[in-house]
Amino acid sequence: MRLQGIPKAKIAEELGIQDVGRLKIWMRKYREQGDFGLMEHRGRRKEYKDLEREVKRLRLENDVLKKWLEILAREG
């Protein structure tokens, strides 16, 4: 809407947003980061850390299995 020259106050009114400052923040985040900037990030840090640990563990497991297969191939 903003790209069509409609003032932020008018957009906020049409969308039922009482705080025009909040709308400005959302618009800036969207402009800088796209959809990701508008996503809720609170409380997800632990979940992401757990997923990062799981990915590291699985990569290590894959490396070990690949080496094991190499050893088996050389012996057999």
Condensed to tens digits (0 to 9), the pLDDT of residues 51-66 reads 888 999 999 999 999 9
Q: How far apart are CA 18 and CA 15, in angstroms?
A: 9
Per-residue pLDDT, 62: 95
Tokens linked to 55 = 């990915």
**Structure pTM?**
0.47
DSSP 7-71: -HHHHHHHHT-S-HHHHHHHHHHHHHHGGGGGS--TT-HHHHHHHHHHHHHHHHHHHHHHHHHHH
